[in-house]
Amino acid sequence: MTTPADQQVADRQVIETTRAGFSRHVFSWLDLLPFVFAALVYFFLGRYLALGTQVMIQIAFALSLDLALGYGGIDSLGHVAFFGMGAYAAGLFALYVSSEPISGLAAAAVLGAITGLITGPLVLRTRGLTLVMLTLAVATMLQELANASAMKPITGGADGLFGFKIAPVFGVFSFDLRGHTGYWYALGVVAFVFFTCKAVVNSPFGLAIRGIRENPVRMRMLGVNVTARLVTLYCISGALAGIAGGLSAQVTKLVGLDSLGFLLSGNALVMLILGGTGNLYGAIIGAIIFVVLSDRAAAIDPFNWLFAIGAVLVLAVRFAPQGVVGLIEQAWRRQRMRRAR
Amino acid sequence: MSEAPALAIENVSKNFGGLRVARDVSLNLPVGARHALIGPNGAGKTTLVHMVSGLLPPSAGTLRLGGVDITHMAAERRVGLGLARTFQISSLFPHLTVAENIGLAFEAKHGLDRRIWGNTAKHAEIVDGAAALLQKLGLLELAARRIVDLPYGQRRLVEIALVLALEPKTLLLDEPAAGLAAAERGALLDLLLRMPEGLSILVIEHDMSLVFRLAQRITVLVEGAILIEGTVGEIRADPRVRDIYLGSRHHG
């Protein structure tokens, strides 16, 4: 005979078994690993702080792209639109409003989100190649706009935006020439971007956008307004990409037309291919590989360094189509199966 | 006055260019009905379900769900009125786990799909609902498995679980038994026979033994038009149905 207490235990087991089916994107101690690694770089590879800061800007940008592309299935070749808007926002904010850095990043995030809110409803009704071309078109139009003579007093045109100062972080840590403050500041921003992404993908909304990536028609047939959810995602991703752009502006103290250029969009995509999409770690690993490899290859051959990136990309697509993280997951799964046997 | 039918299809037509895939089709699904739609391949059965669920707009005619005109309503809003459907080829979320698949239905039903905060696995509306349903359908051990790793028969069961999670008033099943082995068909029929009485079901199916055991009424569709509608006995006895449909069952 089953007592009510037995029944309770059984029910709890049923719920725990079900809950285990939801566990793929929860927070874990593993999430702290990249930040421990970054701290070690600071203490043991102090010569590479500037490079490390560049890596972190690209990690933040690649994370924002992974959220839209890897989780939501929004194939974008124009993600730089958000990055650039964020960069200009942070630059203009420092020039005309305040040199306080964190409110500058907030301004960058707001402009990134607004860009998503305006362009999202236009481009997100489409999918596939049409979507790719529309995102590219939006970014190209924004770049042309920034270069237009009427906009030159604001954006600085081809000369870019420069001559702004960034006040010390929290009013205490001033940006130094060797880049110590910049490094820790960038690390803090990346941590914010990473844990925001993690929280989003962990939430019911995060499950819904993965559902949309997997099968938008089924989502509609569950009663979900697919375009509305995608626009929300585009705004969040746009805000985070805007923060990455703002960070870039604040650290380099220069905003050029290239911050709205196709190259950055393409680079971020290559990072996700190298690292793997739809798991956030791929964005981190891919950005590290991409930036460090570019830097080392350029040091060896300043003219033909892109060859190294091309070669690695070809090898990755051939031997690790799910990226580095995909390889690790595969090995992990195989190991577990062997142990189960 | 009697209660409005769960679903009323009134003089619906659909043309693709010059091709007329539905011609003046009318069908009444009273509340709690078990109604089957049969006919040879290409008869326009799935097209009709697409129009009812909102994936295709009809060229002419009216669709009503519980008395509400849904002819021009967006597909996702029809779900809010209690309409759910399955697809001929399983329509699930292949790289998500079974629990996540069912969880998506529960969060859609509770309007949680826009909640950006909190851990999905800690929302009782999602997890408790999914747990109860998975246990009821004997799918609990599969909770952490991805759909791509499941055999076909189990995918079909998960798809039925997905629509049941929505607690629909009207259910459209597009060939639920297609591709299932005999034992799996038996399990499916048991499941369908145990569905709540108030649920109205319109099922497209080629498996006649399943149709005859499940349905109260049957509509035979041929080349987009209704050939005959009647009770199971009437359809079984009709010589035209034998000729056109039952005689050519071997197409698969």
Complete DSSP assignment for A147-189: HSGGGHHHH-GGG-EE----PPBTTTBPPPTT-HHHHHHHHHH
Q: Tell whether B224 is within 8 A of chain A (Cβ).
A: no
Whether B49 contacts chain A with CB within 8 A: no
Contacting residues for A46 by C-beta, under 8 A, at least 6 apart: none
One pLDDT digit (tens) per residue for chain A, 341 residues: 567 777 788 888 889 889 888 877 678 888 999 999 999 999 998 889 999 999 999 999 999 999 999 999 999 999 999 999 999 999 999 999 999 999 999 999 999 999 999 999 999 999 999 999 999 999 999 999 999 989 999 998 889 999 999 999 999 899 988 899 999 999 999 999 999 999 999 999 999 999 999 999 999 999 999 999 999 999 999 999 999 999 999 999 999 999 999 999 999 999 999 999 999 999 999 999 999 999 999 999 888 888 999 999 999 999 999 999 999 988 988 888 888 76
Q: For residue A135, tell me if it sits in a domain.
A: yes
A224/B113 Cβ within 8 A: yes
> How many angstroms separate the CA of residue A191 from the nearest CA in chain B?
18
Taking contacts as CB-CB distances below 8 angstroms, the residues of chain A near B119 are: 26, 202-203
Domain ranges of chain B: 1-82+168-252, 93-167
Give yes or no for a contact between B82 and B142, defined as CB atoms under 8 angstroms apart.
no
Both structure tokens of A194: 């990473």
**Domain membership flag for residue A258:** yes
Question: Are the Cβ atoms of A223 and B128 closer than 8 angstroms?
Answer: no
Assigned CATH topology for domain B1-82+168-252: Rossmann fold (3.40.50)
Q: A204 and B123: CB-CB below 8 Å?
A: yes
Our count of domains for chain A comes to 1
For residue A220, list chain B residues with Cβ-Cβ distance below 8 A. 54, 75-76, 79
- Among the partner-chain residues B76, B97, B128, the one whose CB lies closest to the CB of A223 is B76
Question: How would you class B132 by CB atoms within 10 Å of its CB: exposed for 0-12, middle for 13-18, buried for 19 or more?
Answer: middle
Which candidate, B46, B98, B137, B148, places its Cα nearest to that of A22? B98
Q: Say whether residue B84 is in contact with chain A using an 8 A CB cutoff.
A: yes
Strand order in the sheet with B200-204: B83-85, B170-174, B200-204, B34-38, B217-222, B225-231
**Which chain B residues are Cβ-neighbours of A204 within 8 angstroms?**
107, 112-113, 115, 118, 120, 123, 126
* Phi–psi pair at B54, nearest 5 degrees: 100, 10
For the cut 80, the answer to whether the pLDDT of residue B1 exceeds it is no
**B220: amino acid identity, one letter:** V
A222 with B96: Cβ contact below 8 A: no
Distance from CA of B163 to the nearest CA of A (A): 8
Start-end of H helices in chain B: 45-53, 75-80, 98-109, 124-136, 152-165, 182-193, 208-214, 232-237, 239-244
Q: Is A40 on the interface with B (CB under 8 A)?
A: no
Distant-in-sequence, close-in-space partners of B14: CB < 8 Å, separation ≥ 6: B20, B21, B22, B44, B47, B51, B56, B58, B59, B224
Give which of A46, A66, A47, A48 is closest to A58, Cα–Cα.
A66
Q: How far apart are CA B196 and CA B158, in angstroms?
A: 18
How many residues comprise chain A?
341
What does R_g of chain A's alpha carbons equal in angstroms? 22
Instruction: Of A208, A211, A210, A218, give the one whose Cα is nearest residue B76.
Output: A218
User: Which has the closest alpha carbon to B189: B152, B164, B167, B157?
Assistant: B157
Contacting residues for A249 by C-beta, under 8 A, at least 6 apart = A86, A87, A88, A90, A91, A94, A104, A108, A161, A255, A259
Domain-embedded: residue A41: yes
pLDDT value of position B250:
46
Whose tokens are 């994370």? That residue is A63
B88 touches chain A (CB under 8 A): no
Q: How far apart are CA B148 and CA B151, in angstroms?
A: 8
The reply to whether A221 touches chain B by the CB within 8 Å rule is yes
- CB contact under 8 Å between A208 and B107, yes or no, is yes
Contact at CB, B91 and A211, closer than 8 angstroms:
no
**Among B96, B109, B131, beta carbon nearest to A18:** B131
Residue A130: give its domain's CATH number.
Answer: 1.10.3470
Give the minimum alpha-carbon distance from A194 to chain B in angstroms, rounded to a whole number. Answer: 15
Task: Give the tens place of pLDDT for each residue, B56-83.
Answer: 999 999 999 999 999 999 999 999 999 9
Residues from chain B contacting residue A337 (CB–CB below 8 Å): none
Spatial separation of the C-alpha atoms in residues A229 and A21, rounded to whole Å: 23
Task: Specify the pLDDT at position B21.
Answer: 93
Structure tokens at A238: 């746009």
The shortest CB-CB distance from B93 to any of A215, A223, A228 is to A215
pLDDT in tens, B115-162: 998 899 899 999 999 999 999 888 999 999 999 999 988 999 999 999
**Of residues B222, B77, B113, B43, the one with CA closest to residue A221:** B77
- For A15, nearest residue in chain B (alpha carbons): B131
- Cβ of residue A128 closer than 8 Å to a chain B Cβ: no
Contact state of B120 with A20 under an 8 Å Cβ cutoff: no
Q: Select the residue of A15, A20, A203 nearest B120 (Cβ to Cβ).
A: A203
Residues written for chain B:
252
Domain extent, residue A259, equals 28-340
Residue A87 lies in a domain: yes
Q: How far is the alpha carbon of B165 from chain A, nearest alpha carbon, in Å?
A: 10
Residue B252 has pLDDT above 50, yes or no: no
- Chain B 143-162, CB below 8 Å of chain A: which residues? 143-145, 162
Write the DSSP symbol of residue A70. Answer: I
Q: Does B208 touch chain A (CB under 8 A)?
A: no
> ipTM, 2 decimals?
0.89
Distance CA A229, CA A206 (A): 10
Nearest residue on chain B to A228, judged by CA atoms?
B114
pLDDT at B251: 46
- Considering only CB atoms, A207 lies closest to which of B91, B107, B117, namely B107
Helix, strand, coil percent values for chain B (each to nearest 5): 40, 25, 35
This prediction has a pTM of 0.91
**Cα separation of A34 and A322, whole Å?**
20
Q: What is the pLDDT of residue A10?
A: 80
Residue A296 lies in a domain: yes
Strand, coil or helix: A74: coil
SS3 B252: coil
User: Does A267 fall in a domain?
Assistant: yes
Report how far Cα B54 is from the mean position of its chain's Cα atoms: 13
Nearest CA-CA distance, residue B56 and chain A, Å: 12
Interchain contact A22–B (C-beta under 8 A): yes
Integer Cα distance of A121 and B100 in angstroms: 27
Distance in angstroms (rounded) separating the CA atoms of residues A257 and A144: 9
The closest CB to that of B127, out of A19, A24, A224, belongs to A19
Report the C-alpha gap between A204 and A195 in whole angstroms. Answer: 16
Residue recorded with tokens 């969009």: A265
Q: Under 8 Å CB-to-CB from A154, ≥6 apart: which residues?
A: A92
Instruction: Nearest by CB to B92, from A15, A199, A215: name it.
Output: A215
With respect to residue A22, please indicate whether it lies within any of the assigned structural domains: no
Choice between B21 and A5, residue whose per-residue pLDDT is larger = B21
